[in-house]
Amino acid sequence: MDPFLLPIEIAGPPEKIRYRQKILLTGSCFTEHIGNHLRDIKFDVLQNPNGILFDPLSVAGSLVSYIDAQPCRERDLVFLNELWQSWLHHGSFSDTSLQRCLEKINASRKAAQGFLKKADWLVITLGSAFSYTLTEKQLPVANCHRAPADWFVKKLLPVDEMLSAFDESIYRLRQFNPALKIVFTVSPVRHIRDGVINNNRSKARLLEVVHHFSNKFEKIYYFPAYELVIDVLRDYRFYDKDLVHPNYQATAFVLEHFMQNYVEPSSQIMAEGIKKIQIAYRHKALHPDTEAHRRFLEEQFLKTRELADKYPFLDFTRELAHFSADG
């Protein structure tokens, strides 16, 4: 253990994540750090079917919406800032075309329902306990889409309200997919717009909520992404220039602990081999016409071919094409 870092004990689940399992990830922007890493090393993942979501009411409501899979209709959208937008979705779903907006939302919701039905793991990352309610409709929103501030009421959600929302969604999830295992995390990203004090109040409430469920139910676990950055690294050199978002080093540190404690050893070994292939795939040759680069491609093609033959359930088509002489 590094003498300059506080020790932390991470109790991983008794049954750990392995290849061939399906992992749905949802929640804040830190969700995508975990999801992108797992996708790059070829785990079967689906992440943020509503786009990035921060508060517990939005996350819990989105999970129920995947189970119900009710189609989104025109009355569920608003035309704002030259775009059709959904109060329950990230701006990545917005569009100048009403029809395209509806198609993107409904296609994502349908895909999420099918994936969630067969998923082995659900990873939920909560970002903030602050929620916004659209005053006119008394509707909690996931994204304000730069609408005027006076359209909304902002509040720090009481713990009881968050517990109630997740109690319902977890009950529905257990009915829909009894085998599903859930991992809660709290994002280490500081929501500094709320102020330092209110950010800490918000994170404290989220921590109370996730520990309630990890203590109350079987097959629900807590991964301490928040503590790894805030308490173990505990230094602004591990943040980007905004002093809010963890940088590459910090994110890699969190992902390393996730892999060590939540992924089974044989899958960790597989992941290390695949990671090396991905590094080679992203390599940009300074002199692509040299014999040295051609040898590099041949070597990587053979290594990738070996992995593809060893693990036929993984798709290396893109990498093989890239490393091949014809690619």
Cα(251)–Cα(226) distance, rounded to whole angstroms?
11
Residues 306, 220, single domain; the answer is: no
pLDDT class for 6, splitting at 50, 70, 90? confident
The number of folded domains in the chain is 2
Q: What is the pLDDT of residue 108?
A: 97
Tell me whether residue 274 is in a domain.
no
Residues 116, 235, single domain; the answer is: yes
Chain centroid to CA 52: 8
Residues 179, 299, single domain; the answer is: no
**Burial (0-12, 13-18, 19+ Cβ within 10 Å), 200:** middle
Tell me whether residue 272 is in a domain.
no
Range of 320's domain? 283-327
Mean confidence (pLDDT) of the chain: 94
pLDDT in tens, 165-191: 999 999 999 999 999 999 999 999 999
pLDDT in tens, 235-249: 889 999 898 999 999
Which of 263, 293, 308 is at the close of a domain? 263
Residues 134, 222, single domain; the answer is: yes
45 touches 35 (CB < 8 A)? yes
Q: Which helix (H) or strand (E) holds 140?
A: strand 139-141
**pLDDT of 325 above 70:** no
Residues 236, 318, single domain; the answer is: no
Residues 47, 137, single domain; the answer is: yes
174 touches 119 (CB < 8 A)? no
Residues 185, 217, single domain; the answer is: yes
Residues 233, 177, single domain; the answer is: yes
pLDDT in tens, 101-153: 999 999 999 999 999 999 999 999 999 999 999 999 899 999 999 999 999 99
CATH number of the domain bearing residue 223: 3.40.50
Residues 205, 313, single domain; the answer is: no
Chain centroid to CA 27: 6
Q: Quick one: CA dihedral 137, 138, 142, 146, positive or negative? A: positive
Cα(305)–Cα(317) distance, rounded to whole angstroms?
10
Cα(242)–Cα(236) distance, rounded to whole angstroms?
10
Tell me whether residue 17 is in a domain.
no
51 touches 89 (CB < 8 A)? yes
User: What pTM does this model have?
Assistant: 0.94
pLDDT in tens, 65-114: 999 989 999 999 999 999 999 999 999 999 999 999 999 999 999 999 99
How would DSSP label each residue in 158-210? -HHHHHHHHHHHHHHHHHH-TT-EEEEEE-----GGG-HHHHHHHHHHHHHHH
Residues 188, 103, single domain; the answer is: yes
